[in-house]
Structure 1
Amino acid sequence: MGYESPMPVQEEVIPFLLGEDNDVIALAQTGTGKTAAFGLPILQKIDVSKYQPQALVLCPTRELCLQIADDLSEYSKYIDNLRVLPVYGGSSIDSQIRMLKKGVHIVVATPGRLLDLMNRKTVNLNTIGSVILDEADEMLNMGFTDSINAILAEVPETRNMLLFSATMPQGIASITRKYMKNPKEIIIGKKNEGNKNIRHTYYMVQARDKYLALKRIADYYPNIYGIIFCRTRKETQEIADKLIQDGYNADSLHGELSQAQRDYVMQKFRIKNLQLLVATDVAARGLDVEDLTHVINYGLPDDVESYTHRSGRTGRAGKTGISISICHVKEKGKIREIERIINKTFEKGEMPNGKAICEKQLFNLVDKIEKVKVDEEEIESLMPAIFRKLEWLEKEDILKRVISLEFNRMLEYYKDADDLQIVDERSSRREERGSRADSGGRRSSSSEEGYTRFFLNFGKSDGLFPNQLIELINKCVPGRVRVGKIDLRDSFSFFEVEESEAKRVMNGMNGFEVDGRRISVEFAQEKKGRGSFGGRDSGGFRARKRDDQRRKERFDSRERSGDKPWRKRTTDKKGR
């Protein structure tokens, strides 16, 4: 299979697992050879004469389940009659039951489908000698804690337990205390540290320009072979559809696809019929694809562990890779947090302009022309006619026509393209100040000079965050809109835009719907000496009345329950 010497995690783990009664916690980044680290010693311990489950591998996703099962089948090529069964949702449970009845030695399973089989009494875990939790941190993140507890309760206490993970969140500690016996902790690198072979880069752009930035990055790396990670299934499908419409070799992978569709997309990606795979975070744990050049974060994930696993899809097995994040101003703090935890410094990338992209694409074409393999025999009979057809053209003319044929569309597209890079520091600081409104602090309702303040009938209780508000404005209002302060409250929000754009913003957003609920945007300039807001039938006043009513109801309920909320209340100098 091409292995010449063990990778660090294999060198540390394999000798230890070959012993008896050794529980192990191994922390290592994705792409470091963890499957072989637990797979090879487990295979050595299997008694093929007994057709009963002797090892159980639990993993979070269908893709990873299939990948591990395939790897174990390859590792056991010369072990006669050894049977490995992948058990996962989305495929026929009847065929899995038939295989279990015939007898298998190793079960690789997702927790949900394995519990289903256990409830049907079709799988017996009493003979399990080794349990492996692979990508344990992700299983906890996906809410499999109860399922894991139910499964481990059916496994003999004498089994060995092996826990493999790239990060070490708090939830893993409870599993180790409950189910593991004096586990040996093996750490390759530092806890939660990222792969040393990956270069981390971020591009700072306006939220409305994220897709344009993605296209430029894809164009700037003509030989890119990578994964674009999005936050939601809907966004994943939208970005994939846009890329396909714009002529890119791309497709999507997310949970709403059937298993057959997911297998088809993955097969195309593995054989490089696809250049770009647009995926949700679930796919981050199931894709073991060689030679990925890039991982692109279409916005940063909420937690550092997800970023670690996203970036770990590239730079595998000692190779180098690039992790690119397309960010807007409010995500700058998140970048610093990730840097601190993974102990890596992000490079601030300069968004390539049209000239640089076209130059890169042209030289890539020249490289291909230089390196193309010419089959003289195949084309020999065709060349005389081609020479006669082109004999009136000089060499320089032919080259110009080849280049024009290949690049006229791209040259035209980038001829008058705008600069996407954020260079207005004052605007950046203003947006950063706006993002701090998410902490719940209150602000003066007066607008900055040159800006108009609006009331919006969505707030934090509706799941609204500053970046989502900006994206909503961009979606409703065509063209560029500069956003000022953002002030998020529980049931409503305030935001500012330049005065010259105010009418366009209000007309564009009013009537727009989010999940069937109509948006209402109104002027919210506070009048001096009054506590209400101007504008038609003051929406801010209505929202404030709703909040007052909710507070009164909470106060009354606490009083009825015997609590004395008024004892904890104080007044300020104005008697409020």
Structure 2
Amino acid sequence: MITFEEIGLSPEILKAVAELGFVNPTPIQEKTIPGLRDTNQDLVALAQTGTGKTAAFGLPIIEKLEVSNNSVQALVLCPTRELALQITKDIKAFGKYVKGLQVTAVYGGADISKQIKDLKRGTHIVVGTPGRVNDLTRRGLLKMDKLQWLVLDEADEMLNMGFKEELDAIIETTPDNRQSLLFSATMPREIESMAKRYLTDPMQIKIGKQNAGATTVEHIYYMVHARDRYLALKRIADINPDIYCIVFCRTRQETKEVAEKLMTDGYNADALHGDLSQAQRDQVMHRFRGRNLQILVATDVAARGIDVNDLTHVINYNLPDDIEAYTHRSGRTGRAGKTGISIAIIHTKESGRVKMIERNSGIKFERKMIPTGNEICGKQLLHLTERLENVEVNHSEIEEFLPQIIEKFEALDKEELIKRFVSAEFNRFLAYYQDAKDLNVYKKDVERGSRVSGGRRGNDNYARVYLNIGKAHEMTPQRLMGLVNESTNGMKVGFGKIEVLRNFSFFEVEEGTQTDVINSVIGKDFEGEKLHAEIASPRPSDNTGRRRREGAYSKKGGRGQGGYASGRSTGGYNKKGGRADDAYRSKGGGTYSGGKRRR
């Protein structure tokens, strides 16, 4: 294993690196730094978060730039404010002993006047988010004519967040002879296309397999009924007293609800979601980074750019829709040479998604059992005794009170005193977990449930939504999914059963997302019709809906021909001959299950 000294960095940089405690470069640093230092060739690097990418591009850039020239020589683009601030902090630390080095962060949600002032003063490296950088560039305040290095950090995340137009506009203003460095955790087609368009004959570096999870992360899943998901989350937190984690939820509404429940139940938790102002977001992140919060509940979008190295766990309250999102989530733990645990709480219908992640990423999950009340109480008790054993006693402060305390307890022997003291701290857990039920779902339960339902996928994990548009308005299952996805502004909606009838439609979305979906769709225009959506009654379990056809939905007081009257109709439509998952079979022969079309 080589050292930073053997790579051949300048004494000023080596001194700063040594102070930071770095001795040996990470694999991405070992492969990247010599090439960037010795050549001007473009670079595409595929590496997970937490692998040391900032030093990989930051150290050689600091080494090569001209401090005597106050023009912007390097631009680092990244997806979020938090990541921009972290990269800026790291680059300043690396260049601590490079006299005169100036690094400026520019990002939205902050006073632009100070950022403009810093740019006018002169700076060598600008680190920023695409929106703010594009704004400053268009105003002529951020000049790119002397730019030598363009770094696209977490390029896949920037595209996922919808920054393609801003990236294109920014890159068009940069000199053709720049050196471009593209770093990405995953390599979807859009990133490959960007690399071909803006990079010239790049050297390519891969650390680990594409879409693969970090080897320092252990992957676990627990299987429970959907209704027990929150109880399972609490037990996971209780069995890990020193937990420091991010809990990922699918929607901002679910994020709020889970965080509020945790806080009400006495957990040191808070939420991070899109409804927070920048000041509120900064306050939450300040508390989380300072470990004044143990549990941060967040959506994928809100958590982008969070850079915390010491997370013990990542918990998937809901599995994400795609493998890349899971890889990004799990990569937030097990960083900087440490190990971590990524947990998925799944319900009985999601084992297939676990297998899909395993198959496509090389990740191997281990199924574990949700701990029992007795196991949790035992773990908490041992944790309490360890805290007592290691507590620092302030002799000077308590000395004067000791005689009174000893007098109070002189009738108790040592064992009784210990029992009382521990009980005072521990009775809450004992009371809560007394006769606690087993939350685990076992294989025999899944099989029995499948036989009882005749192989039909149940509705217990989905909410059913009514939409006032049907086949008469040229609605199809594909168009319905596209309409909902577009209306929800990029929220990944998990679809279940889709039924498009003549004058209206029903579709299922994962429980917890229905409010966001309905609010997003209402009032939108489709083929000249204003959309209306509302919660519909669950599908019936029998086959009577098959005989009714669409006319069964026409009730007195409904909305027009075949109209659906909320709360009045049985709301059931069961197509005979459906597959085991009771999928919707369209005229084209496609099958809809979970929002995906199979042929």
2:433 match: secondary structure = helix
Displacement of 1:296 in angstroms is 0.5
Displacement of 1:256 in angstroms is 2.3
1:4 match: secondary structure = coil
Distance in 2 (alpha carbons) for counterparts of 1:569 and 1:88: 48
Distance in 2 (alpha carbons) for counterparts of 1:530 and 1:172: 51
Picking from 537, 540, 560, the partner of 1:521 is: 537
Q: Percent identity?
A: 51
Displacement of 1:436 in angstroms is 9.8
2:435 matches 1:425: no
Aligned to 1:554: none
Q: Does the aligned pair in 1 maintain the 2:76–2:126 contact within 8 Å?
A: yes
Q: Letter of the aligned partner of 2:201 in structure 1? A: N
Distance in 2 (alpha carbons) for counterparts of 1:222 and 1:76: 39
Show structure 1 runs of 4+ deviating over 4 A. Answer: 430-437, 458-464, 522-531, 533-539, 541-547
Q: Does the aligned pair in 2 maintain the 1:422–1:428 contact within 8 Å?
A: no
For 1:369-388, list aligned pairs within 5 A.
369-388=388-407
Distance in 2 (alpha carbons) for counterparts of 1:9 and 1:409: 48
Q: Which moved more, 1:18-27 or 1:516-525?
A: 516-525
Aligned to 1:172: 191
Distance in 2 (alpha carbons) for counterparts of 1:381 and 1:6: 54
Displacement of 1:351 in angstroms is 0.8
* 1:91-114 Cα deviation digits (max 9, x unpaired): 011111111111111111110111
Aligned to 1:6: 25
Q: Letter of the aligned partner of 1:82 in structure 2? A: L
Aligned to 2:353: 334
2:280 matches 1:271: no
Displacement of 1:519 in angstroms is 3.0
Using the size of structure 1 for normalisation, the TM-score is 0.80
Aligned to 1:287: 306
Q: Does the aligned pair in 2 maintain the 1:56–1:108 contact within 8 Å?
A: yes
Q: Letter of the aligned partner of 1:425 in structure 2? A: V
Q: Letter of the aligned partner of 1:210 in structure 2? A: R
Distance in 2 (alpha carbons) for counterparts of 1:216 and 1:312: 23
Distance in 1 (alpha carbons) for counterparts of 2:320 and 2:545: 42
* 1:340-362 Cα deviation digits (max 9, x unpaired): 22212101120111111111111
Distance in 2 (alpha carbons) for counterparts of 1:417 and 1:529: 42
Q: Letter of the aligned partner of 1:213 in structure 2? A: A
Distance in 2 (alpha carbons) for counterparts of 1:41 and 1:527: 71
Picking from 239, 247, 268, the partner of 2:266 is: 247
* 1:267-323 Cα deviation digits (max 9, x unpaired): 211121111111121344312213211011110111111111111111011111000
Distance in 2 (alpha carbons) for counterparts of 1:526 and 1:143: 44
Distance in 1 (alpha carbons) for counterparts of 2:195 and 2:87: 23
Distance in 1 (alpha carbons) for counterparts of 2:399 and 2:303: 48
1:91 match: secondary structure = coil
For 1:377-526, list aligned pairs within 5 A.
377-423=396-442, 424-426=445-447, 429=450, 434-435=456-457, 457=466, 487-490=497-500, 491-493=504-506, 515=519, 517-521=533-537
Q: Letter of the aligned partner of 2:194 in structure 1? A: I
* 1:441-499 Cα deviation digits (max 9, x unpaired): xxxxxxxxxx9xx99635967669xxxxxxxxxxxxxxxxxxxxx8431354499xxxx
Displacement of 1:400 in angstroms is 1.4
Aligned to 1:24: 43
Runs of 5+ in structure 2 lacking a partner? 1-19, 471-476, 483-495, 509-516, 523-532, 565-586, 590-599
Displacement of 1:435 in angstroms is 4.8
Distance in 2 (alpha carbons) for counterparts of 1:569 and 1:373: 72
1:408 match: secondary structure = helix
Displacement of 1:377 in angstroms is 3.8
Q: Letter of the aligned partner of 1:488 in structure 2? A: I
Displacement of 1:198 in angstroms is 0.4
RMSD: 3.2
Aligned to 1:101: 120
Picking from 225, 241, 264, the partner of 1:206 is: 225
Cα 1:153–1:222 change in 2 (3 A) is same
Q: Does the aligned pair in 2 maintain the 1:54–1:105 contact within 8 Å?
A: yes
Q: Which moved more, 1:417-426 or 1:182-191?
A: 417-426
Q: Which moved more, 1:108-117 or 1:530-539?
A: 530-539
Q: Does the aligned pair in 2 maintain the 1:455–1:492 contact within 8 Å?
A: no
For 1:191-202, list aligned pairs within 5 A.
191-202=210-221
Distance in 2 (alpha carbons) for counterparts of 1:435 and 1:523: 11
Q: Does the aligned pair in 2 maintain the 1:135–1:164 contact within 8 Å?
A: yes
For 1:220-369, list aligned pairs within 5 A.
220-369=239-388
Aligned to 2:487: none
* 1:22-62 Cα deviation digits (max 9, x unpaired): 11111111111111111111111221111111000000111
Distance in 2 (alpha carbons) for counterparts of 1:153 and 1:536: 56
Displacement of 1:529 in angstroms is 9.9
Aligned to 2:574: none
Using the size of structure 2 for normalisation, the TM-score is 0.77
Displacement of 1:187 in angstroms is 0.8
Number of residue pairs aligned between Structure 1 and Structure 2: 499
Q: Letter of the aligned partner of 2:251 in structure 1? A: T
Distance in 2 (alpha carbons) for counterparts of 1:521 and 1:151: 50
Distance in 2 (alpha carbons) for counterparts of 1:245 and 1:253: 17
2:158 matches 1:142: no
Q: Does the aligned pair in 2 maintain the 1:131–1:162 contact within 8 Å?
A: yes
Q: Letter of the aligned partner of 1:426 in structure 2? A: E
Displacement of 1:222 in angstroms is 0.7
Aligned to 1:75: 94
Q: Does the aligned pair in 2 maintain the 1:295–1:310 contact within 8 Å?
A: yes
Cα 1:366–1:167 change in 2 (3 A) is same
Aligned to 2:34: 15
Q: Does the aligned pair in 2 maintain the 1:63–1:283 contact within 8 Å?
A: no
Q: Which moved more, 1:51-60 or 1:370-379?
A: 370-379
Q: Which moved more, 1:253-262 or 1:322-331?
A: 253-262
Cα 1:172–1:114 change in 2 (3 A) is same
Aligned to 2:473: none
Cα 1:425–1:278 change in 2 (3 A) is same
Distance in 2 (alpha carbons) for counterparts of 1:95 and 1:397: 63
Distance in 2 (alpha carbons) for counterparts of 1:6 and 1:494: 52
